[in-house]
Amino acid sequence: MKNLRLRPVVLSVVTYDDIQKRVNGIPLMEIRKSSDARMLREADNQGGTLAYSDLSLIHFRSISTIHDNITEYECENNTVLPRRGTVHDLGRSISHKKIICKKSILDRKALPDIALQTDHSPEAADRYLCDCDRVRFCLKKGLSMEDTAFATQMSKSLVVEYIDLIEELYNSEEEGNVN
């Protein structure tokens, strides 16, 4: 953290669109989710990156509430928002791995498009896809989770995340080919 430079950004805490949504009866939770997403994008567009703690202080809401809102927004909109965890590739969030792999495996999108759509560098997106492929290869060879972790030099918990992801995505792909 000490090597990160702070950058001032201007954020729209409340917009005319937020007010119109409230007037039109949109639930406050939906407005909050889109507000969080907007502020993350505004900071990113100005060369800054917000963390959950930043949004927590701005809105006087708990970090867990901010986390839940952003996670729901990303799932509902099939996107990855530019926040500290995703921009600097921190934490154990599977959401961006899942979205990147889904766009490649199920949607058959090209790597540059995937990177652009998920606010990741092509190298980061490619790393997720390669890690997924390496775990899948080990599984096809009959390696256990422990042996796969050893062979790929990944943590056991990360291998388990990829195994779950592979089962979900490749089962979805097979179902799509049947129809």
With 50 as the cut, is the pLDDT of residue 47 above it?
A: yes
* 86 close to 96: Cβ distance less than 8 angstroms: yes
With 70 as the cut, is the pLDDT of residue 177 above it?
A: no
Alpha carbons 38 and 77: distance in angstroms, whole number: 13
**What pLDDT, in 10s, does the model give residues 87-135?**
655 555 545 788 888 889 889 999 999 888 877 778 888 888 999 999 9
**What pLDDT, in 10s, does the model give residues 133-166?**
999 999 999 999 999 999 999 888 888 889 988 9
Alpha carbons 20 and 11: distance in angstroms, whole number: 19
**Greater model confidence, 49 or 68:** 68
SS (H, E, C) 62-131: CHHHHHHHHHHHHHHHCCCCCEHHHHCCCCCCCHHHHHHHHHHHCCCCCHHHHHHHCCCCHHHHHHHHHH
* 9 close to 48: Cβ distance less than 8 angstroms: yes
Per the structure block, which two tokens stand in for 100? 């990147």
With 60 as the cut, is the pLDDT of residue 44 above it?
A: yes
Alpha carbons 85 and 49: distance in angstroms, whole number: 9
With 90 as the cut, is the pLDDT of residue 24 above it?
A: yes
What's the pTM value of the predicted model, to 2 decimals? Answer: 0.56
165 sits in which H/E element: helix 156-178
- Find where tokens 């639930």 sit: 27
Output the pLDDT for position 76. Answer: 87
